Chain A
């Protein structure tokens, strides 16, 4: 197994902390909700029929699995010179640990209060863990897990996504 960089003190100090807090920069909107439902042919009437939504969910909501849609930055916007990274903590880890390759090994999403059109969603990225060095068929590297917590404009928790990664170098 090749030698890996020790986990720098700075990265150790990140574990358990909220490192990046961000706002989606736009309101939850029905066009994306309809496009998402169309993309997976989801005919659930709470997303298509306002009367059904009123009866069941007290008005229109977004499919819970859309959470990450509300944290992804625009591809371009005026005045910006660098392409933004949607999961910035992950890219900081790759760079800080000198592990150029990475894959998502597992994803968990826990759903809180419903997300509704007009909501402004903000996120907090929390580094949960970084493993000791591991070697598998991809190479040698480390596993890490990042929580992305989502809140609406009333500071109500609307969900948490946990991304588990393996960052590695090819042997």
Chain B
């Protein structure tokens, strides 16, 4: 078993910390693979003619794909002990093949809830050029120390 994964503990994080940015070149495959992986068969995610006839410039990333990108971005930073609790995002503009999306993030708060779970709040922006296509806020549970594991929490001890 690989044991060299990063462990980000809550005491290593503070408000204002920036997450490493991530840039991804979006291709038609990115869009179609994301749609198929999420069992989304609607034509605007694989048929350019359909999409352009709807007034969009091309096929575009669907909602669950964007959620999956946000989750990946978040847990690239936390490591596998980071447990996502909540994601909220608004898709202002469509992300299409040919775009380069850049994810940036900043910690907006760190807190411990009443059952002792440590949380980081993170603001993430999915940018294409200078345009914020999808602003997102996330809440992710972090271990208090290397022996803590938010994934062990269940029932009343998990308050996302």
Contact = CB atoms under 8 A, between A and B. Distances in A.
Contacts of A63: 68, 71
B89 interface: yes
A73 B121 CA distance: 33
Given A65-B70, A107-B67, 8 more contacts: A32-B39, A39-B36, A65-B84, A107-B88, A107-B90, A108-B86, A111-B85, A111-B86
A72 B42 CA distance: 11
B1 A40 contact: no
A52 B80 contact: yes
A65 B87 contact: yes
A36 B68 contact: yes
A6 to B, nearest CB: 29
A75 B41 contact: yes
Contacts of B72: 40-42, 44
Given A38-B33, A45-B2, A105-B90, A64 B40 contact: no
Interface of A: 32, 35-36, 38-46, 49, 51-52, 55-58, 63-66, 68-69, 72, 75, 104-114
Interface in B31-74: 33-34, 36-41, 63-65, 67-72
A63 B65 CA distance: 12
B64 A110 contact: no
Residue from A39, A45, A55, A105 having most chain B Cβ neighbours under 10 A: A39
Most buried by A among B38, B39, B40, B72: B39
Nearest to A51: B1
A111 B154 CA distance: 11
B81 interface: yes
B149 A65 contact: no
A104 B89 CA distance: 10
B80 A69 contact: no
B108 interface: no
A113 B75 CA distance: 17
Contacts of B86: 108-111
A65 B33 contact: no
| Residue from A46, A68, A107, A114 whose CB has the most chain B CB atoms within 10 Å | A107
Contacts of B152: 58
A75 B43 CA distance: 12
B63 A104 contact: yes
Contacts of A104: 63, 91
Contacts of A32: 37, 39
Given A49-B1, A57-B151, A36 B38 contact: yes
